[in-house]
Every structure is written in structure tokens, then in C-alpha cells.
Chains A and B, each alone.
Chain A
Amino acid sequence: MDIQTEMTAPPLSGGLDPAQAREAADAVRNAIYRATILLDSQKWDEWLALCDENFVYDIKAWSPEINYDMTYLHGSRKDLEALIRLLPKHNTDHSPLTRHTTVYTVDVADDGATAKTVSAFIVFQHLLDGTNSHIDSGESRLFLVGKYYDTFRIENGRALFTSRETRLENRRLDKGSHWPI
């Protein structure tokens, strides 16, 4: 069996027509990749436009140091709107971040109205002004590694994020970031 097909094909149980299921899965997949490009481009408002009014965002990590499932950032859509609005007022490391996202699984609900996905991501940081730009700018570093656990509402062929759990593998985060991941 083709592993790629098995990993990404939506479950065909229930009453959903296979073609509709594929269409829903495609919409979900497109939303994840579009979100990646918009986050990379720092088009924060356009990224939020991909999200439902009740969207909830988390950055989490399991700590084997303290044996605790940690939440590094939690916010509703309203919280994120405020966070984004204030970004220009902060002193920030402006080194661009780019994400390499791969959608692993898409599970569309039987009624075709919701979906859950698991994607892997790697975030690279392309140094600009974080340290000594004369020496360091132009260097790319691995910044974050983890998985996105996303949920969606699907309506009229469009998939809207209802939640994103950004789960990090690395916990040495050095200066961190002001930006959603």
C-alpha cells in the first residue's frame, strides 16, 4: 500500500461521499499550507482570516525536566489580534522565520463539517538583527521543531482553523520570539 496515500487519505467511514471527503481534506491541507506561507510572510491579519471566530492558539511542550505539560503561550483569536496589533511597538528580533510544514494526517469527520490534522514543522531563523548583524546576518539556524495539531470547521468547501496546538520538541529557546509560530 502506498504509505503517503494511507497517511493523508481521509477516513471513508460514515455517510460522507468519498469525493466530498477528498474535497474537504484538500481544503484542510490547503489551509495549513496557506497558513505556513502567511506566517512566513508575517501577514498576520491574513493568517488570522484563515481562523474561525472561536479560534484558540497554544504553544506547548512537554518538559522532561519538571515532568509537566507546559503551555508557553495561550490565546483566543481576540488575544492574538491584540498581540499582533502591538507587535510594531515591541523591540523584536526581526530575523525572519520560515516554516517547513508537512501534513501527516487529515481526519475529516463523518458529517464533513469538521476535521483534525497532524503536521510536522521545522522553523528556521534567518539572522538579521538579533545579534551582531555585521557578523551574523544572513546565517540560517534551526529555531524550532515540532508538530501542529490543528482542528477545522469546514463550510461551503472552505476550511477554517478552530484551534492550533503548536507542540515544540526543543525547550532550549534562547531569546524566544514575539511572533506566532
Chain B
Amino acid sequence: MPARNHTQWMATPPLQKGEWVDSRVYTDQEIFDEELEKIFKKAWVPVCHESELPKAYDFRTTSIANEPIIVTRGPDNEVRAFLNVCPHRGMLIERRPSGSFYEGQPSGNPKRMTCMFHAWQFDMKGNCVYISREKEGYQDRLPKENVGLRRLRCEVKFGGFVWVNLDDNPISLEDWAGEPFQCLRKTLEAEPMEVFHYHKAIVDTNYKLWHDTNCEFYHDFMHYHNRVTGFNDAYFARKNESFEHGHIVVGTFEVNYDQYEGFESRAGLSFPHLPPNQWYMIDLFPGMNFNLRGSALRCDVVTPLGPNKVMIEFRGLGLKSDTPEERQTRINHHNSIWGPFGRNLHEDLIGVQGQGTTMRPGQEPRRILHGRQENQTIHDENGMRHYYDEWGKWMNRSPSNPELPYSAPAIAAE
């Protein structure tokens, strides 16, 4: 068919409902605001890893859906999460990305979270334990029991990741993600892991476009090593399996790194209970990815910043018991492909930023095709269809026409 005029360009594609989405799901400010309220304030988010706060009184700060969060490890070794907001006048309690409350701060005592503004202090369970000049100002009208921090649902699970949910009554984390993690559970929970890599990218694109890239392998053609040296029958035969709640898992196969020009075999280093050179990928709704490839585990977490802006945090993990040599090997393997100066990540980010360039607020809506059907293997786009069906349910919007309420797609989301 020759290039199309505007009417043809805007016409419904000859695919079934559910096999494309309207690009307004990526560009509309109202939809974005609604996503934060309806999805991100109710979903479990792995905000960090327990190895980032290894000792009692360590903390880590983060955010979900614009809400600042602090994660602490108490003297009882429990990891807890709170809104990082002082109940007095709304000051951010802790400004650093990580640290320890073991030592005192200029405005406060050791072993306390202290708001620097007016010196209110909180213990590691979020109890308010000190109000400066309390009696003089409040007499007995505002007991400390009434001004504790806002506690958040928090669990350490699936390999030591710290999961937080802003909803007081969410689905249990086990019910949320236990099934997709089943393929790696034994491996991830065999012994403690440790984060060795962290960097972040803020990219002008919608968060779902990043997750889409993690949900399909059809973009193999973008990467030299995938398109030239990685393809074989076993590679293409991997299944893209859908799970409840919008999650998918890509099954494993044995990667032949000796066929990768410029790469060494990774057979010498793996994870517990995992044969060498295996590759599993778990994609969780609404935008988290766990990718275990041979000797390194990668975890991506999206923080949507606007319809056309997302922060992606990248972590790399190995075993806490690694020798220095093993750790260096894992780091090299992780970063040669997935690091900020690695071969594939740069291309992935150029790809989604290119999509973000054509899908900005105010641009003409168009159809984004998710219609490849390849027996639910890795170049099938069933992972994205499954995701957007879930998205439609959470948002009560039709992904192919977000002005309409959700209705089941013509073909069942696999």
C-alpha cells in the first residue's frame, strides 16, 4: 500500500480490538493523573533492596506517585516504610538518599528521625517521641500519640526487595506477585543478595512505553548482539507467559555467549539452583522488571513523572557471599550489556525516547499496534495485550479508545 492520506492514517487498523492502543494513553495529562491515583497509589512497588539499608537505623528515601517515602531498618531488624513527611508542617523529614540515624543530626538526637525544621522526633516505628516545647505550645491538646508518621504497607520479599504499597488495604504481596516469581523463587531466596549497581535515567517518554520494551523481544533487531549472534530456534521458542494482575514471565533458554562477539562465556558464574547461562525475565504491572541473565540480576523500577517523562532506576545484584573476583565478574557481565555505557541499554533508551518524541501531549492521537501473534513466544506481543487489558480494568478505560469505559477485548488477553 502506498503512503496514506490523513483519513487512511487515522482509520481503525484491520486488527481486532485489543491488538492496538490509542496513543492518548501515553500523552493525556488527565489519564496520567488518574493513573497515579488508581494504579500507582494501589500497586506494590519494589522501592529498594534490603542490602541498601543493611544495619539497624539505616534508611533509604524514595517516592511513589509524588508521595515522598522513607524506608528504615529498626533496632529489631524490621524494615518499615513511612511517608517522609513531618505531621507538623509538612516538611520533608529526611533529605538524603540514604544514611543512618544512628548518629545524631544537627536538630535531633541519635536513633531518631528528626525533622530539621522544628526538631520533632520519631522512632524507627514511626512513633512521635519528642515535640519541642510541647507543653508550652500544645499544653495537653495534642498528644504525641496523635502525631505519629503515616505508616505504609511494607514487606521484604522475593529476594530481599523492599515492597511498599500506599494503600492501607492492598491485595497481599504474595497474591500480587507470588505466581510470576515462582520460576525464580528458589534461586532468589536461597541466600542474601546485594545491590552492586544503581543508576537512573530520566527520559522524555511515557512509563508504559518503557515497560512495553521490557515486555517484548521483537525489538531484538535494534541490538547488534541479539540480531546477529543471539538468534537460534531455542531463543525464539521461549514463551511469553501471562499471569494474573497484568504480569508476564519470559521463560529461560541457554544463552550461547561464546557466539557473542566481544563477550566471554558466563557459564562459570550463576545463581543458586540455576544452571549456567539461563535467562529469565519477570515483568510486573505497572512497570517493574526483574531480569536474571546468567550471572547478574537486573531490576528496573519506573517512577512516572508526567505523561511524557519517566524516571527509571536500574539496579544490578549479585550474591552477598560473592568473592571480590566473582563480584567483579558479575559487574562486568551486567554492565557490558545493561550498564549506562553498555551495548543494549543505550539503544533501548533511544528507542523509547523516539516514541516519546512522536507521542507528546497535544500531538495527534494514533494507533500503536500490539497485534503480533506468534504462539505466545517472545516476538508475540501478547505480553503487551495482557498488560493493557489489565490497565483498562484498573482505569475503567478502553486502551483502544480511552474515552470509553473498559470492555473485554475481542480476543482474550492471553
A88–chain B nearest beta-carbon distance, Å: 10
Residues in A with CB closer than 8 Å to B138 are: none
A34: Cβ under 8 A from any B Cβ: no
**Contact of A72 with B199 at beta-carbon distance under 8 Å, contacts A64-B96, A93-B350, A177-B341 already known:** yes
Taking a contact as CB atoms under 8 Å apart, the answer to whether A174 and B349 are in contact is: yes
Given A173-B199, A175-B346: A66 and B98 interface contact (C-beta under 8 Å): yes
The answer to the question of B90 belonging to the interface, with a C-beta cut-off of 8 Å to chain A, is no
* Segment at the A interface, from B4-12, B75-83, B121-129, B200-208: B200-208
Residue interface bits A75-94, CB-to-B below 8 A is 1, else 0? 00001001101100111110
Q: Is there contact, CB below 8 Å, between A176 and B353? A: no
Q: Is the CB of A70 within 8 A of B204?
A: no
> Separation in Å of the A84 CB from the closest CB of chain B?
10
A176 CB contact (under 8 Å) in B201, B202, B328 = B201
**B315 partner residues in chain A, CB cutoff 8 A:** 66
Task: Establish whether residues B339 and A73, one from each chain, have CB atoms under 8 Å apart when the complex forms.
Answer: yes
- B396 contacts partner chain A, Cβ-Cβ < 8 Å: no
Is there contact, CB below 8 Å, between B198 and A91? no
Per the 8 Å Cβ criterion, residues 342-371 of B in contact with A are 342-343, 345-347, 349-351, 353-354, 357
Residue with the highest number of chain B CB atoms closer than 10 Å, among A71, A92, A93: A71
In the bound complex, residues from chain B placing their C-beta under 8 Å from that of A89 are 224, 228
A72 to B340 Cα, complex, angstroms: 7
Bound-state CA distance A81–B198 (Å) is 27
B164 CB-CB contact with A under 8 Å: no
CB-based contact A175/B198 at 8 Å: no
Contact partners of B347 in chain A: CB under 8 A: 90-92
Chain B residue numbers with a CB within 8 Å of A64 are 96-98
B335 touches A174 (CB 8 A): no
- Chain A window 141-181, contacts with chain B (Cβ cutoff 8 Å), 1 for yes, 0 for no: 00000000000000000000000000000011111111101
- Name the distance in Å between B298's Cβ and chain A's nearest Cβ: 14
Closest to B353 in A: A131
User: Nearest Cβ distance between residue B398 and chain A, in whole angstroms?
Assistant: 29
Select from chain B the residue with minimum beta-carbon distance to A170: B199
Q: Which of B40-78 contact A (CB under 8 A)?
A: 51-52, 60
Question: In the assembled complex, which residues on chain A have CB atoms less than 8 Å from the CB atom of B203?
Answer: 174-175
A65 x B97 contact (CB < 8 A): yes
A73-B353 contact given A67-B98, A82-B262, A92-B346, CB 8 Å threshold = no
Q: How large is the interface on A (under 10, 10 to 19, 20 to 34, 35 or more residues)?
A: 35 or more
The one of B261, B340, B346, B353 in contact with A86, judged by C-beta atoms closer than 8 angstroms, is B261
Chain A residues with CB under 8 Å of B200's CB are 171-173
A132 partner residues in chain B, CB cutoff 8 A: 357
Contact A176 B262, beta carbon cutoff 8 Å = no
Interface status of B190 (Cβ within 8 A of chain A): no
In the assembled complex, B332 has its CB within 8 A of some CB on chain A: yes
Does B328 lie within 8 Å of A175, measured CB to CB?
no
Given contacts A86-B262, A171-B200, 18 further A-B contacts (CB under 8 A): A59-B341, A61-B199, A63-B198, A65-B97, A65-B198, A66-B196, A66-B315, A71-B331, A72-B340, A82-B262, A86-B343, A90-B347, A91-B222, A93-B346, A172-B199, A178-B343, A178-B346, A179-B341
B residues near A (Cβ < 8 Å) are: 51-52, 60, 96-98, 195-204, 222, 224, 228, 261-262, 315, 328, 331-332, 335-336, 339-343, 345-347, 349-351, 353-354, 357
Report 29 cross-chain contacts, Cβ distance below 8 Å, ordered by A residue.
A68-B198, A71-B335, A72-B340, A72-B341, A73-B341, A73-B342, A74-B328, A74-B335, A82-B261, A82-B262, A86-B224, A91-B351, A93-B350, A130-B350, A131-B204, A131-B353, A171-B198, A171-B200, A172-B199, A172-B202, A173-B340, A175-B353, A176-B340, A176-B342, A176-B346, A176-B349, A177-B340, A179-B341, A181-B341
